[in-house]
Amino acid sequence: MSGGLKGSRILVTGGAGFIGSHSAKRLHEEGNFVRIVDTKESEFMKTKYYDEFLKLDLRQYDNCLKVTENIDQVFNFAANMGGIGFITEVGADVMRDNVLINTNMLEASRINGVQKYFFSSSACIYPIFKQTVPDLPGLKESDAYPADPNEFYGWEKLFCEKMCEAYRRDYGLNIMVARYHNVYGPEGTYEGGREKAPASLCRKVAMVDDPGEITIWGDGKQTRSFLYITDCVEATIRLVDKEYHEPLNIGSDRLVTIDQLADLIIGISGKKILKKYDLSKPQGVRGRNADLTLVKKVLNWQPQVSLEEGLRRTYEWILREVQAKRST
C-alpha cells in the first residue's frame, strides 16, 4: 500500500483500457477521487471503479485541458496500441495518435498545475540490436541508447519519454516514467487483433476442442518475461509515490520461450493440445527480458505473483468469457 496517494484527485487516462482500468480501480479503492477518461467504457470491469467518467478524445487539446482541471495527479495510460500483430502492421496512426495525446496531456497538465504526472512507456523502446538472441541478459534502463527501438510504437514511446524529460527540465513538471514489460492478466483484451501473447494463447486454448491443436506465431523459441497486472499496478503506484524521475523498468526477470508459455497454459487447461507454428506471422524481437536491479533498489519492489498463478487466473477468466459468448 502506498500512503502518499490517498485523498488525491486523480485522473486516469485510458481508464477503460487494461492497465488503466486496473490502476483506476486500485486508486479508487484506496480512497482517492478518480476521474477516468477514454473514448469508450470498459468492456470487462463489472463494478464501478471511478467517481467520474468522461468520454473524450485526448488527441484534441481542449479536451486535455478539460480533463486535467482540478486534478492533483495524472496517470497517463491513453494510447493507440496492441500486440505484436497490431504494432507491426500499424505505424502512422500509432505515432500520430500517441504523440498528439502525450503532447496535449503534458501541456494541459502544466497549464493546470498538476502536481504529479505518470507516463506509461514500454520495453519496446529498447534497441533491436540488444535483442537478437533468445537467451539474453535482462535489459537495464541504461541500455536504451544508442536508440534503435522495436517498431514505430517503440520510437513513439522513446520520443515521448524525452518529451517528458524536457517538460521536467524546462517547466519543473513532476514526471515519473515506467517502461512496462509484457503486462498480462484478466479483464483485458483477449481477441480482435490487439491482444498480446498470453491473452491470445489463453483464448486459443480455451476455444479449442480436447484433443485439438493451436497455432503459435513464429517458431516458439522467441523469449519474453511477463508481469501480472496486480504487480504492475503496485509498482506503478509506488513509483508515483516515490517521485523517482528517471525511466524505470516494471516487469519480470523470469525469461520463458513462447513455447513454454503455451505449455503452461495448456497444462492449466488440462487438455491434450498439439502445437503448430506459423513462421509467416510477426514475432517481434528474438528475445527480451527485464533487469530489475534498479526497480528493486528504488521501490523495494519485486513481482509477487508467479507466472503459473497469473496464467491460471487469466486462463480461467478468458475461459469463462469464451463459454459465456458460446452460450448466447
Q: Give the domain CATH number at 13.
A: 3.40.50.720
3-class DSSP assignment, residue 313: helix
* Cell 486496473 belongs to residue: 22
Provide the edge-to-edge strand list for the sheet that holds 9-13: 52-55, 33-38, 9-13, 73-76, 116-122, 175-180, 248-250
Active site residue 153: yes
3-class DSSP assignment, residue 178: strand
Rg from Cα positions in the chain:
19
**How many helices (DSSP H) and strands (DSSP E) are in the chain?**
10, 13
* Residue 296 lies inside a defined structural domain of this protein: no
52 & 170 share domain: yes
Q: Compute φ and ψ for 67, nearest 5 degrees.
A: -75, -20
**pLDDT at position 237:** 98
118 & 234 share domain: yes
pLDDT, averaged across the chain: 96
246 & 134 share domain: yes
**Which residue among the candidates 49, 50, 126, 153 is catalytic per the annotation?**
153
> Worst-scoring range by mean pLDDT, 4-8, 67-71, 104-108, 115-119?
4-8
**pLDDT at position 5:** 62
* Residue 3 lies inside a defined structural domain of this protein: no
Report the pLDDT averaged over residues 1-7.
56
The answer to whether residue 58 scores a pLDDT higher than 50 is yes
Closest among 230, 120, 97 to 175, alpha carbons compared: 120
The answer to whether residue 256 scores a pLDDT higher than 50 is yes
Q: What is the CATH number for 274?
A: 3.90.25.10
Alpha helices in 270-306 (DSSP H): 293-299
Domain count, the chain: 2
pTM, to two decimals: 0.96
Beta carbons of 156 and 136 less than 8 angstroms apart: no
Per the structure, the complete domain to which residue 211 belongs is given by 185-224+255-289+305-327
- Tell me the pLDDT tens digit for each residue of 277-320: 999 999 899 999 999 999 999 999 999 999 999 999 999 999 99
**pLDDT at position 85:** 87
State how far the Cα of 4 lies from the Cα of 51, in Å rounded to an integer: 19
DSSP string across 51-64: SEEEE--TTSHHHH
158 & 211 share domain: no
